[in-house]
Structure 1
Amino acid sequence: MSGQARRYGHLCWAYDDRAGFMARAVEFLRAGLAAGERVWLVVAGPPEPIRDRLLGLDDFATALAAGAAEVRSLDGAYTSVAVTDPASQVAAYRAATRTALADGYTGLRVAAEATGLVRTPAQRDAFARYEHRVNEMMVTEAFRAMCGYDRAELGDRAVAELACLHPEHNVDDLLFRLYAAPPHAGQVALAGELDPSNHDLFRTALDRADLAPVGDELVLVADALRFLDHRALIHLSEYAQDRDATLVLRAARSGVARLAALLDLPALRVEVLR
């Protein structure tokens, strides 16, 4: 796990058993309580049974009584449970984070069982776009989140579409991650490996990130990218051309620059990081 990923605190947790997810969510939120954050557990269905269970844990009982912890239903935390509007949902979490800060907490941390928000292709497309936008928000706001997805219900491909847009995930066979870059580094960070097995998934992720040029450039930070092939470079160049921009790829490996030079891609420039 990279230092950048640790700093975000945005985790995708694919699970096969709900009890296992809940145990991991409690651990994630407990770390937030220890850090002085307000924490929310967002659940499918009515929140009261889960809240009653948490009352049996001393630290959560105290936090629930004080308002430092809350259990919410999906429709109590998300602006729409039909098809997510990325801008509205990011705005809602930004406002909730700032309210937590105003109330004396160090930020807001949310663990959400989000399977019910991504069951259909339309829901999944919208929520994946939201995942990237909330990554951008996390760069500047004291907001941390864990998103839980039921692998048995959604299937491996659907989970991969969502997990690859998180700086952290627990999907062992998912080779790359694409997420908002830290301030002043660029627009988006790319980590892991790109090869023929994941070209289609990468194209889908990049389209959902929907990067807008700054000036006439799209800046992609790839210092944690271990491997990419020529097809990935071609796609990046085409992606930039479609947006009348140049894609600046900041890579740690000089071999990437040599490969790009051989391909002579008009909309791609590689900068080798020292």
Structure 2
Amino acid sequence: MIKLAACQYHIDLLPSWDAYARHLTDLCEDAAGQGAQLLLLPEYAGLVLSGQLPAEQRGDLHASIAGIQALLPAWIALCAGLAQRLGVYLQPGSLPVLDTDGCYRNRAWLFGPEGNLGSQDKLIMTRFEREQWQIAAGSGLRVFDTALGKLGILICYDNEFPLLARRLSDAGVDLILAPSCTDSVAGFYRVRIGAQARALENQIAVLQAPSVGLAPWSPALDENYGRAALYLPPDYGLPADGVLAESAELCPDRSHWLLCELDLDAVRRVRQQGQVFTRRDWPQQFAPGRLEIL
């Protein structure tokens, strides 16, 4: 049994590094103090760093992204230090990162008691990211082998595409972390439906953490809706609706942790003894390009 914490992360204006560092530290200490072993924050949670920029700069979409790049080394050090000191796995959401090829990519790191375990880029961009931000797609999927089990990260929209999760499950991943940021209720439900479908298809667990709240100071994070949740395949010994835990409100006025316990052995068991074998019954002849249209 492992204890997970998914944050409904309220987008607050934190105008200094000290205010931000105290905010993130307090959040992580709260979850770890309740026994959480893995902490998940939402997509673009790192963009809260833009609150430290001058008002004119943080109010400009492209200038705010460029402005936070100088803060990345300190942010990575802060996250790594929290994970090590608290003895937890921390996925502190994602943020846009300027790569050596001159492109920005939406990147999520995973930190553990042993330090920085690496990162996963978002692979499929939404229209807003592609057309307005000019955020480029990443490449490749990463499996994180941890003391809690094998983990994967699919950032927000990536959860709506079944073959990405399928590749992770084929590689032995039992739990997918799904940090999300959606500016409408419909957007939240698209990611939620995708995450639940990925849990059903692959007979794995998916943990979602969304951004919430209204932040008129940020052109990137001005409206945010979503519920944190842990999704499982509906089967023997697991919830009939596939929802093990879910936060109550779509847009609370403060950050809130959803804490839940996950028995990965019970999830694995349904692959061998379940009512259905969706993971096994996904035959290779149905792979793209191999199924004949009659």
Q: TM-score per shorter chain, which class?
A: 0.3 to 0.5
Of structures 1 and 2, the one with the larger relative CO (CA 8 A, separation 6+) is: 2
TM-score by structure 1 length? 0.36
Structure number with the higher helix fraction is 1
| Larger gyration radius, structure 1 or structure 2 | 1
